[in-house]
Amino acid sequence: MENDIGLWGVPLAVLGGAIRVSTPFIFVSLGEAITERSGRINLGLEGTLVFGAMAAYAVAVETGSPWLGVLAAMVAGSGFGLLHGWICSFPRVNDIAVGIALMLFGMGLAFFFGKPYIQPSAPNLPAIPLGDWSSIPQVRAALNVNALFVIGAALALFLWWAFKNTKLGLIVRVVGDSADSARAMGLSPTTVRLFATAAGSALAAVGGAYLSLYYPGSWNERISSGQGLMAVALVIFARWNPLGCFAAALLFGGAGALGPALQSVGVTQGYYLFYAAPYILTLVIMIATSSPGRQLAGAPGELSITK
Amino acid sequence: MADVTASDVPAPLAPPRLAAALAFTARRAEGIVIPLGALVAGMAAFSVFLLLLGKSPAQFFELMWRGGFGSWFSIQNALLRATPLLLAALCVALPARLGLTVIGGEGAIVLGGVAAAAFGHALSGLPYPVVILAMGLAAMAAGGLWIGAVGALRHYRAVNETISSLLMAYIAIALMNQLVEGPLRDPASLNKPSTHPLDAAYRIGPMPGMDVHWGLAVGIVACVACWVLIDKTRWGFAARVAGGNVRAAQIQGLAVGPLIVGFCALAGALAGLAGMFEVAAVQGSANASLAAGYGYAGILVAFLARQSPLGCIPVAFLLGGIAAAGGLIQRRMGLPDATILVLQGMLFIVVLMSDTLYGRFKIFNPDRWARA
Amino acid sequence: MSHSLISRRTLLKTSAAGAAFGAAGLPFSLRPARAASATIGFIYVGPKDDYGYNQAHAEGAKVLKGMSGVTVVEEENVPESVDVQKTMESMINLDDATLVFPTSFGYFDPHMLAMCKKFPDVQFRHCGGLWHKDKHPANAGSYFGYIAMGQYLNGVVAGHATKSKKIGFVAAKPIPQVLNNVNSFLLGARSVDPSITCQVIFTGEWSLAVKEAEATNALVDQGADVITCHVDGPKVVVQTAANRGAFVCGYHASQAPLAPEKYLTGAEWNWATVYEMYAKHLLAGEPLPNFTRGGLADGFVKMSPLGPGVSDAGRKQFEATLAEIKKGGYAVIKGPLKDNKGKEIAAAGKAFPETAIELESTGFLVEGVQGSTS
């Protein structure tokens, strides 16, 4: 067989999987990084992601344009973000709890309005064939990269730069590190956080659009297996660094591809444990890189979860 | 009542005993009136949602009442669904007193269930109380180790407990599947891989006079015990101090490490116990059905109860009743099952928003009654 | 034909139930009268439009909605826990259901059995073939279809379509029903060309979209060019495989609309046959069979119409094999046959037709399947 790539299939699958599976994690974790950098936590991005997946799919079905779907997801996502930001602007309201409530609400609305869209097929987002130089179809498939992945990578780079070098980045960071000094500078922490949450949620919804419009590319109630929740956790893992979020998402996606790839070359024992590889790997890295001395370096000072 | 005439000297409005009683009631009433008001507001918001869809809110709430609360059958249905939520909620509420957000109780539940099933099968033949006790202890040990590890990682390695507990929940489910389809599998469980079934003699039955198993009683007792632990003992006091400020607690000489690990382990042990009841009272063996999402529902209950162990009891009952009515609403009104999720989400949001109202109403604050 | 084992006890009991029914309309009737109407409950473990297992049942239920005198009540996304027990109870108590179909495999023990004891006058029929007259209550019962034959026909068509001589199977869990399907799929393909191999990947869950997509990609990466599956909702597998340019064979329901060019055929349930039969018995006040099984010949299972990717030779062999199967007694697992670890499963001359009891505890993958049962 000329296209038999044997054991090379494993690293290739991990690479391809990293690219295919990671995109939702990239968008959600970048979005959450913006929100958390402003000193607020939005645990509800799983709900936003699922609603984004539904909204994108529904609009793509109705209009025939997947990009309009992505846009719709962003609009819907920022709506959820504004709601979260608005509710949390009241004194004594717990942002983590509001996140959980919105997770439920977002998923509920998505399933509720998504029923009629389970059956129809939506047009998919286009892919960029970065692997055309290769004659091996598996390599071409692995490097068949969706535009959203490229946008996500660029966004990670941009945010990393913007947090350091732009006025807006500085504003977000000041508000996140100390509300008092922000106020002293004449900034309104509430307003900044409101928009940071809205922006973060809009990105998370794009992650959902990727799920429903590209990979796996269909809408149903089981489309997300906790990507939104996990991506929020990855932000803390990545220490609020956008480049770290990107790397963590790639690592997580690649590890997730390990299970099926190993089975396809004959390593079949204990596949449940291989499937748990992303979680085990993340936990091990977290334990290895944390130490009691430096408590979460880089954590925004106002974040309730790290106080 | 709040509009008492302004006066510099607080004048007694009523004989001292009555005033004291009024003041007592008023202070307590705040914690009941505000959430109830929020629930009503949430239902009103949901009614608007239904009206926009052209459905009848009256029919909806009538069915909700009938399906979840309106008859002995419905009440038992609600209680049965509330049962696993009580212990799962404590797995969130206890660490919350230390300022920890643990969201991985699901892992402790499934491992507790597996441990209970394994011990229950292995000890088959011994007297009933011995086996039940052993199953309970095994489940508590498994759950306690799992969440206790989360606490230990938090304190000794500064690993964020929210992520680690979530990761460990996924790992626990994988471990459960591996065990149930591997070493612990009953070869006779052909198309639904399960552990060896628990002998019928060791099942936990319903409580007298009702169709709800003993897990409910244990859950309520656990909630009360946790309330006593937190509000009435020095450990609970120490935990609250540490939850407020770890450094202050350390300066006061509190052993923060053992406190965190101990509270987390207890929280996990209780969730493990929930898994044991799932096996011994419901499923009869451990299998993939153990991961039914009770751990995640418990997060909801604990946050809605504002992390109060006693508050978990009515909240779990309320959510149990809503879930119980869900089927009826699906069948009678042709609404999708997700309707219940939307309602829960709305109620939850409004109740959380009402947190901001505490302390704002003079009526609940006797100290301010006399002052303008 | 279907194997109906009706115990005497059941017969008496159902007649009694029928009488109680009839009594509502004709209070003084002495013999079991026709029930004027009946409420039948259906419970699904997932969404009823999943392009798969649940949709297949919901399509059957839909046929009953058109029958006069039948009221259908349905609930979807019901977990295999106390939830399903309470759903059954609620259907019986609040909707007056007298026949309940809990359709998911995991609903049987302990959930449905507990309800059977609690409501001896209500009939319960479970999808999956677990009921045994010595072990289980008389108001319970099972129905199931021999769908592995459908996977065998999928394999026949796949055998003609594959160029790489490698086909792929995305499976949920290594349980007998799934293993029978995997084995049949490969043996069907090997009836065309004995050099064909089949790679199987287990996802570990009945419904997990991203993992199913990853498994499909891994299979295509390893050279498989015809893919089928046994998961609750095949939509993701079918779409992913078709996008990668592989042919697909469907399962549970027809997924042809999802990939009209790449869809070869599919093994579908045809539950309407079973549900109509039960409903007619119920309305007539007759006892319901406790144990019903059937295959392609009995209309319990059907094949999707062949797609444009099927060659003439493929079509010919498909139709000939289907005709052969419909005659009855056709055996897919027949000697000489070894499993993929080299152990003999059937000696020459030994054959296990679809009705063979041994196939209900299949724990092996046949020679030529790459994968492991644990």
Q: Do C236 and A13 touch (CB under 8 A)?
A: no
Q: What percent of chain B has pLDDT over 70?
A: 95
C138 and C207 in a single domain? The answer is no
Question: Is the model's pLDDT at C223 over the cut of 70?
Answer: yes
C87 has a chain B CB within 8 A of its CB:
yes
Q: Is residue C159 part of a domain?
A: yes
- Under 8 Å CB-to-CB from C243, ≥6 apart: which residues? A124, A217
Helix or strand run (H / E) with residue C329? none
Q: What is the mean pLDDT of residues A151-155?
A: 96
B289 at interface of C, judged by CB pairs closer than 8 A: yes
Q: Which residue of B has its CA nearest to A299?
A: B160
Spatial CA neighbour of C108 closest among B111, B194, A54: B194
Put simply, whether C102 touches B (Cβ < 8 Å) is: no
Question: How large is the angle between the packed helices A95-114 and A66-88, nearest 10 degrees?
Answer: 150
pLDDT at residue C130 tops 90: no
Share of chain C above pLDDT 90, in %: 80
**What's the pLDDT score for residue B371?**
57
Residue C29 has pLDDT above 60, yes or no: no
Chain C residues with CB under 8 Å of B292 CB are 79-81, 83
Over residues B235-243, mean pLDDT? 89
Tokens of B42: 């949430």
Chain B to chain C Cβ contacts (< 8 Å): 72
Are C190 and C156 a contacting pair, CB within 8 Å?
Answer: no
pLDDT for res A39: 92
Residue keyed to tokens 């509001």: A98
Residues C297-322 have pLDDT tens digits of: 999 999 999 999 999 999 999 999 99
Residue C103 lies in a domain: yes
What's the pLDDT score for residue A44? 92
Of B171, B345, B353, nearest to A276 by CB-CB distance is B171
User: Which chain C residue is nearest to residue A210, measuring alpha carbons?
Assistant: C210
Closest of A3, A58, A104, A37 to residue A213, by C-alpha: A58
Do C137 and C59 have their domain in common? yes
Q: How confident is the model at residue C33, as a pLDDT?
A: 43
Preferred mutation among A51, A118, A275, A286 to probe B, highest tally of B CBs within 10 A: A286
User: For testing the chain B interface, which of A96, A279, A281, A304 should be mutated: the one with the most B CBs within 10 Å?
Assistant: A279
Q: Which domain holds residue A243?
A: 6-289
Of C39, C72, C77, C83, which to mutate for an interface test with B (greatest number of B Cβ within 10 Å)? C83
Structural domain contains residue A1: no
The ipTM (two decimal places) reads 0.90
Average pLDDT (C3-16) is 37
Number of folded domains that form chain C: 2
Asked if B168 is an interface residue toward chain A (Cβ–Cβ < 8 A), one would say: yes
The residue ranges of DSSP E strands in C11-150, in sequence order, are: 38-43, 70-75, 97-102, 123-124, 126-127, 142-145
C189 with C319, same domain?
A: yes
Quickly state the pLDDT bin for B31 (edges 50, 70, 90).
Answer: confident
- With an 8 Å Cβ cutoff, are B338 and A237 in contact? no
Identity of the residue in C73, C79, C82 whose CB atom sits nearest the CB atom of B331: C73
Q: Is B73 on the interface with C (CB under 8 A)?
A: yes
- Beta carbons of C64 and C38 less than 8 angstroms apart: no
Mean pLDDT across chain C, nearest whole number? 89
- Residue A296 belongs to a domain: no
C259 and C278 housed in the same domain:
no
Q: Are residues C77 and C222 in the same domain?
A: no
Q: Stretch C107-122: mean pLDDT, rounded?
A: 94
From its phi and psi, is residue B257 left (phi > 0), alpha (psi between -120 and 50) or beta?
alpha
Q: What is the pLDDT of residues A159-216, one digit of tens each?
A: 999 999 999 999 999 999 989 999 999 999 999 999 999 999 999 999 999 999 998 8
User: Model confidence at A305, in pLDDT bands (50, 70, 90)?
Assistant: low
Q: What is the mean pLDDT of residues B287-300?
A: 93
B38 to chain A, any CB pair closer than 8 A? The answer is: no
The CA distance from C79 to the nearest CA of chain B, in Å, is 7
- The amino acid at B141: A
Q: Which of C82, C111, C115, C364 to mutate to test the interface with B (most CBs of B within 10 A)?
A: C82
Q: Do C207 and A222 touch (CB under 8 A)?
A: yes
Average pLDDT estimate for C67-93:
94
Q: Closest to A220 (Cβ–Cβ): which among C201, C235, C372?
A: C235
Q: pLDDT-derived band of residue C35, with 50, 70 and 90 as boundaries?
A: low
Contacts of A227 in chain C (CB under 8 A): 210
pLDDT: is C29 or A60 the higher one? Answer: A60
Residue A229 lies in a domain: yes
Write down the pLDDT at residue A142: 81
Mutual angle of helices B309-333 and B72-96, in 10-degree steps: 140
What chains are in contact with A, requiring at least 3 Cβ pairs below 8 Å? Answer: B, C
Burial grade of B233 (CB within 10 A; 0-12, 13-18, 19 or more)? exposed
Residue C364 within a domain: yes
Confidence at B3, pLDDT banded by 50, 70, 90? very low
The CATH number that applies at residue A148 is 1.10.3470
Q: Which of C47, C202, C212 sits opposite A263 (nearest CB)?
A: C202
Cβ neighbourhood burial of B52 (10 Å; 0-12, 13-18, 19+):
exposed
Residue range C194-210, pLDDT digits in tens: 999 999 999 999 999 99
Q: Is B344 on the interface with A (CB under 8 A)?
A: yes
pLDDT of residue C185: 97
Q: Domain check: are C187 and C224 in the same one?
A: yes
Interface probe for A, chosen from B146, B150, B161, B166 (most Cβ of A below 10 Å), is B166
CA distance B229 to chain A (A): 24
Chain length of chain C: 374
Supply C236's token pair: 């993701």
Residues C100 and C58 in one domain: yes
Report which of residues B236 and B366 the model is more confident about: B236
> In chain A, which residues touch C (CB < 8 A)?
1, 3-5, 9, 12-13, 16-17, 20-21, 115, 118-119, 121, 124, 138, 141-142, 211, 215-218, 220-225, 227, 256-257, 259-261, 263-266, 268-269, 271-272, 275
Touching partners of B (3+ C-beta pairs < 8 Å): A, C
Query: What confidence score (pLDDT) does residue A301 get?
Result: 81
- The secondary structure of residue B184, as a DSSP letter, is T
Q: Is C76 on the interface with B (CB under 8 A)?
A: yes
Residue A300 lies in a domain: no
Closest by Cβ to A108, choosing from B155, B174, B342: B342
The pair of structure tokens assigned to A243 is: 């480049």
* Residue B8 in this model has a pLDDT that exceeds 90: no
Mutate to test the interface with A, among C76, C207, C221 (most CBs of A within 10 A): C221
Query: What is the span of the domain harbouring residue C115?
Result: 8-146+270-294
Average confidence (pLDDT) over B279-290: 95
The verdict on B32 touching A (C-beta cutoff 8 Å) is no
CB neighbour burial string for A217-243, b if at least 16 within 10 angstroms, e if fewer: bbbbbbbbbebbbbbbbbbbbbebbbe
Chain B's closest residue to A97, CA to CA, is B303
Q: Pick the closest to residue B240 from B264, B258, B259, B261 (CA basis).
A: B259
Domain assignment present for residue C3? The answer is no
- Put simply, the chain A residues between 221 and 260 with a CB less than 8 A from any chain B CB are 221, 226, 229-230, 233, 236-237
Tens digits of residue pLDDT in B96-143: 999 999 999 999 999 999 999 999 999 999 999 999 999 999 999 999
Indicate the pLDDT class of residue A137, thresholds 50, 70 and 90. confident
- Residues B123-132: tens digit of each pLDDT: 999 999 999 9
C254 to chain A, closest Cα gap in Å:
12
Same domain, C317 and C245: yes
Strand order in the sheet with C38-43: C70-75, C38-43, C97-102, C123-124
C179 shares its domain with C314: yes
Same domain assignment for residues C171 and C316: yes
Last residue of one domain, picked from the residues C294, C328, C349: C294
Q: What is the pLDDT of residues C253-291, one digit of tens each?
A: 999 999 999 999 999 999 999 999 999 999 999 999 999
As to burial, measured by CB atoms within 10 angstroms (0-12 exposed, 13-18 middle, 19+ buried), residue B232 is exposed
Instruction: Note the pLDDT of residue B370.
Output: 67
Least Cα separation, residue C121 to chain A (angstroms): 35
Contact status of B228 with chain A (Cβ, < 8 Å):
no
Q: Which of A195, A183, A160 is nearest to A302 (CA)?
A: A183
Q: Domain total for chain A?
A: 1
The size of the A-C interface in CB pairs under 8 A is 129
Looking at the complex, does the CB of residue B249 fall below 8 Å from at least one CB of chain A? Answer: no
Give the span between the Cα atoms of B364 and B358, in whole angstroms: 9
Q: What is the CATH number of the domain that holds C40?
A: 3.40.50.2300
For residue B92, is pLDDT > 60? yes
Provide the mean pLDDT of chain B.
90
Looking at residue C191, its amino acid is S
Domain co-membership, C215 together with C351: yes
Asked if residue C135 and residue C176 are part of one domain, the reply reads no
Q: Which domains does chain B have, with CATH numbers?
A: 56-334 (1.10.3470)
Query: Are C86 and B80 in contact (CB < 8 Å)?
Result: yes
Closest Cα to residue C337, out of C295, C372, C368, C366? C366
Minimum-distance CB partner of A100 among B157, B303, B336: B303
Nearest to A1 among C164, C210, C236 (CB): C164
Closest residue to C175, CB basis, from B66, B73, B193: B193
Model confidence band, residue A2 (pLDDT cutoffs 50, 70, 90): very low
Please name the member of C47, C50, C204 whose beta carbon is closest to the beta carbon of A272. C204
Helix H segments across chain B?
A: 16-52, 57-68, 72-96, 105-122, 128-157, 161-181, 215-232, 234-244, 246-251, 256-277, 294-304, 309-333, 338-353, 366-369
pLDDT at B255 over 90: no
